[in-house]
Amino acid sequence: MLDLQHVAMEYLPGRPVLRDVNVHLAKGSFHFLTGPSGAGKSSLLSLMSLQHRASKGMITMFGKNVTAMPREEMPKLRRRVGLVLQDYGLLPHLTIAENVALPLKIAGEPAKQIADKVRELLEWVELEQYHDVRPALLSGGQKQRAAIARAVITKPDILLADEPTGNLDAALSLRFMYLFEALNKGGTTVLVASHDEHLISLFNHPVLRLQDGVIVRNNR
């Protein structure tokens, strides 16, 4: 499903953030990604979601080599990936409902169907009263819930979630983890980046640990 071999990445020439990363996310698997702040978790997710290019190595996604793929072919693959960004990535000029609807709109779903799904999901994340409100008026945790709703609304083939519970209290964090588990049971391959060792310890999923640009531990 998603395979990285000897992958390196740098923002500044000669200063690699990822040096030699090898990861295989099998179809239907559920992994955690952890490691100290600044280790490169978000950078790794940006490679996996095709926002950045690797400087070395090979990335294969849905059986296609994306390292050599022309830019114009990427949106089609990207649409199969649900992404929860660490800083939410909500568009400030759109309402919460419009933000959550965006992936379905891009996929060309009929408006009525989109409206129904958005309403149902906003109810699930307890943001129904923020339907027509812009993101600036929401708290951090509320924005995070909207970002999660947007990432899962398409039932993506892969869900990449960057600190998805970083702004949620313990009870809500668990609730969202159970949502990710339910998606996973429905076939979605899941990767959750988190520093929350306690949360990670509550689930029996393999842990990828990033340190000094490599994955140092592939299990507990």
Ligand X SMILES: Nc1ncnc2c1ncn2[C@@H]1O[C@H](COP(=O)(O)OP(=O)(O)OP(=O)(O)O)[C@@H](O)[C@H]1O
Residue 42 binds Mg ion (CB under 5 A): yes
Q: In terms of CB distance, is 25 or 85 closer to ligand X?
A: 85
Max distance between CA atoms of the chain, in angstroms, equals 51
139, interface contact from ligand X, Mg ion, none, CB < 5-8 Å by kind: none
Tokens (6 digits) for 94: 């759109």
Contact 38, 74 (CB under 8 A): no
Distance CA(83)–CA(147), nearest Å, equals: 8
Which stretch in 5-13, 38-46, 51-59, 118-126 sits in contact with Mg ion by CB under 5 A?
38-46
Q: Which residues contact 126 (CB under 8 A, 6 or more apart)?
A: 145
Identify which of residues 39 and 102 has a Cβ nearer to ligand X in the complex. 39
Residue 31 CB coordination number (10 Å): 19
Annotate each residue in 127-166 with x if it binds ligand X (CB under 6 A) or - if it does not, as one string.
Answer: ----------------------------------------
Residue with tokens 């939410």: 88
- Identify which of residues 105 and 217 has a Cβ nearer to ligand X in the complex: 217
Q: Which secondary structure element, helix H or strand E, spans residue 101, and what is its range?
A: helix 96-106
Find tokens 């949360």 and name the residue: 199
Each residue 35-74 as x (binds ligand X by CB under 6 A) or -, in order, gives: x-xxxxxxx-------------------------------
Please tell me whether residue 84 binds ligand X under the rule CB under 6 A: no
Establish if 178 lies at the interface with ligand X (CB under 6 A). no
Q: Taking the complex as a whole, how short is the minimal distance between the CB of residue 86 and Mg ion, in angstroms?
A: 5
Residue 156 interacting entry, from Mg ion, ligand X, none, C-beta within 5 to 8 Å by type: none
CA 148 – CA 220 distance, rounded (Å): 27
134 CA to centre of own chain: 22
In the complex, the residues that contact ligand X under the rule CB under 6 A are 11, 17, 35, 37-43, 86, 195
